[in-house]
Amino acid sequence: MNTEIIELTHIQVLLGYVFILLVFFILKRQSIRREKELFIATLRMTLQLVLVGYLLTVIIENPHPLVTFAVITVMLGFAVFTVFRKFKGRLSPSLKRVALFALPSGSLIALFYFIFAVIRVEPYYNPQYFIPIAGMIVGNSMTGITLGIHTMLTRFTDKKEAVMEALHLGATPMDASRDIVNDSFDAAIMPTLNNMLGMGIIFLPGMMTGQILAGVSPVTSILYQIGVMLGILGGVALSTYFFLVLGYRTFFNSEAQLKTML
């Protein structure tokens, strides 16, 4: 098998931007006003990836545990900030504190288990493994917890009367909120489960594709992808579960009554 890596030149990469022109043409033809978003998204993607590429090169060539953990901290900080911005004005201070705990906790548990128990990286802080895997777990956990928050906020609003009726009949806040929590958890993990269902037959995931293009054996790439997907599932499940089992309580006061903010 030929494992030689095909190096892309700047000209070859520029040729890929033809697809941007194609999308721009379709937007103009269909009178869909997304040209600005297309331009900003393309520019940000290019600049961010170029900067991250050079930064990772320096970090990987000069590994240090403090630098690795600093990068992970920044990732988690941006993930939490993104969640807060997504629900600006809709999250109470107590719910923000829950998210600030749940997202990092669930992501880090899954990440450290994967690093120490599954692939057993030496040294453990090796940024070549730590940072890309952390990015995948944190990014997917952020998406999962975002879906969980959205569903929970919507359900508490839509089912306010049903929750209040259950409380009046003697149900605890936990019992009155059980269906809401379960629906929110289901919504959070569903995209990850759908990805797992389609992998290998409908599509090849990005990590596996990248490794194969880099000359790694497909079998080795598959094993890594299986491990990473299980880590992602764990991160999404833990982050969302922590948020939901702690978050639903913020909708009730100390006397087990539904707060009037809904």
Domain end residue (candidates: 62, 77, 106)? 62
pLDDT of 119 reads 86
pLDDT of 139 reads 93
Question: Is 11 part of a structural domain of the chain?
Answer: yes
- Range of 54's domain? 1-62
Domain end residue (candidates: 46, 62, 78)? 62
The secondary structure element, H or E, covering residue 218 is helix 218-247
Tell whether 107 and 57 lie within a shared domain.
Answer: no
Q: Please report, for the domain that includes residue 93, its CATH number.
A: 1.20.1640
Separation between Cα atoms, residue 10 and residue 160, nearest integer Å = 57
Look at the block and give the residue holding tokens 């909708």.
251
Q: Which residues, in sequence order, are bridge partners of residue 203?
A: 199
Query: Other C-beta atoms within 10 Å of 206: how many?
Result: 10
Q: Is 149 helix (H, G, I), strand (E, B) or coil?
A: helix
Can you read off the two tokens belonging to residue 248?
């639903």
Question: Is 17 part of a structural domain of the chain?
Answer: yes
Across residues 178-207, what is the average pLDDT?
Answer: 86
Question: Is 190 part of a structural domain of the chain?
Answer: yes
Tell whether 31 and 140 lie within a shared domain.
Answer: no
Percent of the chain residues topping a pLDDT of 70: 93
Question: Is 110 part of a structural domain of the chain?
Answer: yes
Enter the pTM of the model: 0.85
Tell whether 58 and 79 lie within a shared domain.
Answer: no
CB 107 within 8 A of CB 138: yes
Tell whether 52 and 108 lie within a shared domain.
Answer: no
**How many structural domains does the chain have?**
2
Comparing 3 with 131, the larger pLDDT belongs to 131
- Measured between alpha carbons, how far apart are the two ends of the chain, in Å? 61
Query: Other C-beta atoms within 10 Å of 16: how many?
Result: 9
Is the pLDDT at 261 greater than 60? The verdict is: no
Tell whether 195 and 112 lie within a shared domain.
Answer: yes
Q: How many CA atoms lie within 13 A of 60 on its CB side?
A: 11
Q: How confident is the model at residue 23 (pLDDT cuts 50, 70, 90)?
A: very high
Tell whether 49 and 139 lie within a shared domain.
Answer: no
Tell whether 192 and 114 lie within a shared domain.
Answer: yes
pLDDT of 224 reads 84
CA angle 19, 20, 25 (to 5 degrees): 95
Question: Is 2 part of a structural domain of the chain?
Answer: yes
Is the pLDDT at 43 greater than 60? The verdict is: yes
Is the pLDDT at 115 greater than 60? The verdict is: yes
Tell whether 78 and 208 lie within a shared domain.
Answer: yes
Question: Is 170 part of a structural domain of the chain?
Answer: yes
Tell whether 105 and 25 lie within a shared domain.
Answer: no
Buried b (16+ CB within 10 A) or exposed e, 131-152: bebbbbbbbbbbbbbbbbbbbb
| pLDDT tens by residue, 58-111 | 999 999 999 999 999 999 999 999 999 999 888 999 999 999 999 999 999 999
Worst-scoring range by mean pLDDT, 60-69, 87-96, 156-165, 253-262?
253-262
Tell whether 35 and 108 lie within a shared domain.
Answer: no
CB 250 within 8 A of CB 38: no
CA angle 253, 167, 250 (to 5 degrees): 30
Tell whether 46 and 122 lie within a shared domain.
Answer: no
Tell whether 8 and 54 lie within a shared domain.
Answer: yes
Look at the block and give the residue holding tokens 């988690």.
76
Separation between Cα atoms, residue 242 and residue 170, nearest integer Å = 26
Across residues 144-167, what is the average pLDDT?
Answer: 92
Question: Is 258 part of a structural domain of the chain?
Answer: no
Domain end residue (candidates: 62, 81, 102)? 62
Question: Is 257 part of a structural domain of the chain?
Answer: no
